[in-house]
């Protein structure tokens, strides 16, 4: 009891929460609840398509007991301003019962520019935290023990740099790299398709992705070296089928590249993780998650011949769909988020982020962030939806939707292969076209009111808008001063040597992680390291036709 009041022990709070072990489950009226329910007639169709939780093809979930034994990870994406400010928010979220961290980086960091770069003007600390050097990462994880929490980092083009910084922080805390848990997004292909924070051309980018994959499976075996993301594809306007198809097409490209390097599929595929959106169409979303598990299990077992069952299991994080939030009547967003989060839970997600009600206007304020967190906690601890695994399994409608989505996803994956694979599809603008057509169609449906958005195109009399007060961050200026301070204190000779070693290594086949690790430990900046990459790899310019 005493311990929990101690700041330093803040991060132990999550442990009993995660490992809640109840032996028997009952409804509120004391009806006993079994782990899961099956049809009386378990014919071949049932066994092939639906089956049991924790068994291939995992339609019903990757664990036999799912949330009865281990709740999903409550992981709220956060980051703004300086490392100091974000560290405060992290500690607040952990205190309120979140059990993992998820870092949002600002755009200059995501695009490999230091805070003092001309293109960073006005963007420093805006959509995430500004990280220029290891010094900022030290502040970001101040008083947070990396062996007690897992951290997800939304970083792609410069993923290798932030991953190395995380290892360096662990070492400073006296931990070995084998102990760290978490995820680095490291999914560059979807950046060209949807999210837009690519730096280098696809081929050298995939080399960086694969270097990280290869290094991670040896040195950080508990870390997910990639989170292959459909979320941003969906947010840029795709439908649920495209979301899955494009994500799996990307995943297969990474696997092919790793296999080409001679890494065995069973050695790394179990550390591949995924990230999907939970949008408005409740049953379609549930069916999407179920279909996704079956498709992935089939691809891994049949196509890639993986022997290790862990490689067949699709593990994914889910975020509720930000693009469905409205500025009008922001309270309505709480209801949208609740339904979306529920679909993710009924779909068997491993980890969840719920959006805050004010995110159509700004980064969430503390109250809105708390309500978003409470939404998950109410689903987890009050609703009882986690008492039986895959409670919708066997529903005629849900199984029909699951089959339909599966069928159409395969058609799309085959189409992408027919046109020459993902990189070709990126370079010819295929993905952009496919997504834009759907996005435009959706927009038209909203405009002519075929698709209803409550408070926007229907029931829109007397809608409220909250007067938004922009958050005051520490300025670009203070971050620039802080980088300059670090530059003054560091050993310039070491910096120069690390950067030239890295430059030389790029021209060989060597794995670049050790070189980047040495560079970040010498306090080279994100911008300096990316500059070396830019010099050798060049920059990518998209083929963007509308």
Shortest spacing between CB 154 and another protein, in angstroms: 12
Instruction: Between 108 and 393, name the residue whose CB sits nearer to another protein.
Output: 108
Instruction: Between 294 and 353, name the residue whose CB sits nearer to another protein.
Output: 353
Q: How far apart are CA 458 and CA 449, in angstroms?
A: 8
Shortest spacing between CB 123 and another protein, in angstroms: 5
Shortest spacing between CB 27 and another protein, in angstroms: 41
Shortest spacing between CB 291 and another protein, in angstroms: 25
Shortest spacing between CB 96 and another protein, in angstroms: 25
Q: How far apart are CA 78 and CA 86, in angstroms?
A: 7
Q: How far apart are CA 220 and CA 513, in angstroms?
A: 12
Instruction: Between 200 and 312, name the residue whose CB sits nearer to another protein.
Output: 200
Angle between helix axes 202-219 and 526-537 (nearest 10 degrees) is 130
Instruction: Between 103 and 519, name the residue whose CB sits nearer to another protein.
Output: 103
> Which chain residues interact with another protein by CB under 8 A?
107-108, 110-111, 113, 119-123, 126-127, 191, 195-197, 235-237, 323, 326-328, 360-362, 436, 439-440, 443, 447, 456-457, 460, 465, 467-470, 541-542, 544, 546
Shortest spacing between CB 452 and another protein, in angstroms: 12
272-278 and 25-26 beta bridge pairing: unpaired
Categorise residue 370: left if φ over 0, alpha if ψ from -120 to 50, beta otherwise.
Answer: alpha
Angle between helix axes 240-260 and 282-298 (nearest 10 degrees) is 20
Instruction: Read off the tokens for 240.
Output: 């649920």
Categorise residue 186: left if φ over 0, alpha if ψ from -120 to 50, beta otherwise.
Answer: left
Q: How far apart are CA 125 and CA 221, in angstroms?
A: 31
Q: How far apart are CA 66 and CA 15, in angstroms?
A: 17
Shortest spacing between CB 113 and another protein, in angstroms: 8
Instruction: Between 230 and 393, name the residue whose CB sits nearer to another protein.
Output: 230
Instruction: Between 109 and 177, name the residue whose CB sits nearer to another protein.
Output: 109
Helix (H, G, I), strand (E, B) or coil at 152: strand
Residue 274 Cα to chain centre, angstroms: 7
Q: How far apart are CA 351 and CA 151, in angstroms?
A: 12
What one-character DSSP code corresponds to residue 129? B
Q: How far apart are CA 420 and CA 493, in angstroms?
A: 47
182-184 and 351-353 beta bridge pairing: unpaired
Which phi and psi (to 5°) does residue 112 adopt?
Answer: 70, 30
Instruction: Between 256 and 366, name the residue whose CB sits nearer to another protein.
Output: 366
Instruction: Between 291 and 425, name the residue whose CB sits nearer to another protein.
Output: 425
Instruction: Between 342 and 363, name the residue whose CB sits nearer to another protein.
Output: 363
Instruction: Read off the tokens for 316.
Output: 């994914």
Strand partners, 278: 320
Shortest spacing between CB 279 and another protein, in angstroms: 14
Instruction: Between 238 and 402, name the residue whose CB sits nearer to another protein.
Output: 238
Q: How far apart are CA 97 and CA 89, in angstroms?
A: 13
In which residue are the tokens 């379609």 written?
A: 284
The residues, any chain, with a CB within 8 Å of residue 110's CB and separated by 6 or more, are: 128, 155, 156, 157, 158, 197
Residue 537 Cα to chain centre, angstroms: 26
Q: How far apart are CA 424 and CA 428, in angstroms?
A: 6
Instruction: Between 222 and 465, name the residue whose CB sits nearer to another protein.
Output: 465
In which residue are the tokens 């000779």 written?
A: 493
The residues, any chain, with a CB within 8 Å of residue 488's CB and separated by 6 or more, are: none
SS3 sequence of 402-415: HHHHHHHHHHHHHH
Shortest spacing between CB 36 and another protein, in angstroms: 39
**CA quadruple 63, 65, 68, 70: dihedral sign:** negative
Shortest spacing between CB 204 and another protein, in angstroms: 19
Instruction: Between 105 and 215, name the residue whose CB sits nearer to another protein.
Output: 105
Instruction: Between 508 and 541, name the residue whose CB sits nearer to another protein.
Output: 541
CB-based burial label for 514 (10 Å; 0-12, 13-18, 19+): middle
């Amino acid at each position: 009891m005493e311990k929990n009041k101690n700041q330093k022990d803040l991060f132990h709070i999550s442990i009993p929460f995660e490992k809640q072990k109840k032996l028997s489950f009952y409804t509120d009226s004391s009806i006993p609840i079994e782990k899961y329910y099956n049809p009386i007639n378990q014919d071949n169709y049932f066994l092939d398509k639906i089956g049991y939780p924790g068994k291939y093809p995992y339609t019903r979930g990757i664990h036999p007991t799912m949330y009865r034994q281990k709740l999903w990870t409550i992981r709220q994406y956060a980051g703004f301003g300086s490392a100091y400010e974000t560290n405060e928010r992290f500690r607040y979220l952990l205190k309120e019962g979140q059990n993992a961290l998820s870092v949002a980086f600002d755009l200059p960091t995501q695009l490999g520019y230091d805070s003092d770069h001309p293109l960073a003007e006005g963007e420093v600390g805006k959509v995430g935290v500004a990280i220029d050097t290891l010094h900022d990462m030290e502040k970001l994880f101040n008083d947070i023990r990396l062996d007690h929490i897992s951290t997800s980092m939304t970083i792609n083009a410069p993923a290798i740099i932030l991953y190395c910084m995380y290892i360096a922080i662990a070492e400073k805390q006296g931990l070995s790299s084998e102990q760290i848990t978490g995820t680095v997004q490291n999914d560059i292909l979807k950046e060209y398709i949807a999210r837009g924070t690519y730096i280098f051309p696809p081929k050298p980018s995939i080399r960086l992705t694969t270097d990280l994959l290869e290094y991670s499976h040896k040195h950080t075996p508990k870390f997910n070296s990639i989170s292959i993301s459909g979320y941003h594809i969906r947010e840029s306007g795709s439908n649920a089928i495209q979301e899955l198809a494009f994500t799996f097409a990307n995943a297969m490209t990474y696997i092919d590249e790793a296999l080409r390097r001679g890494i065995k599929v069973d050695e790394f595929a179990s550390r591949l993780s995924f990230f999907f959106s939970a949008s408005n169409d409740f049953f379609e979303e549930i069916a999407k998650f179920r279909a996704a598990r079956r498709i992935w299990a089939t691809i891994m077992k049949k196509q890639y011949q993986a022997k290790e069952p862990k490689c067949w299991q699709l593990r994914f994080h889910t975020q509720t769909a930000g693009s469905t939030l409205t500025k009008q009547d922001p309270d309505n967003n709480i209801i949208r988020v609740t339904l979306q989060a529920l679909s993710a839970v009924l779909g068997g997600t491993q980890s969840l982020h719920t959006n805050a009600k004010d995110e159509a206007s700004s980064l969430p304020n503390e109250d809105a962030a708390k309500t978003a967190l409470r939404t998950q906690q109410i689903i987890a601890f009050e609703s009882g939806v986690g008492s039986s695994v895959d409670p919708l399994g066997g529903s005629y409608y849900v199984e029909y939707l699951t089959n339909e989505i599966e069928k159409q996803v395969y058609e799309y994956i085959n189409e992408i292969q027919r046109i020459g694979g993902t990189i070709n599809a990126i370079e010819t603008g295929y993905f952009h076209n496919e997504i834009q057509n759907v996005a435009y169609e959706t927009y038209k449906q909203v405009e002519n009111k075929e698709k209803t958005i409550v408070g926007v195109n229907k029931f829109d009399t007397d809608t409220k808008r909250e007067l938004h007060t922009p958050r005051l961050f520490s300025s670009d200026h203070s971050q620039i001063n802080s980088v300059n301070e670090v530059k003054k204190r560091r050993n310039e000779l070491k910096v120069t040597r690390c950067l030239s070693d890295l430059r030389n290594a790029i021209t060989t086949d060597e794995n670049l992680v050790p070189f980047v690790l040495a560079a970040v430990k010498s306090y080279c900046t994100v911008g300096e390291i990316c500059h070396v990459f830019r010099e050798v790899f060049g920059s990518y310019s998209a083929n963007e036709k509308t």
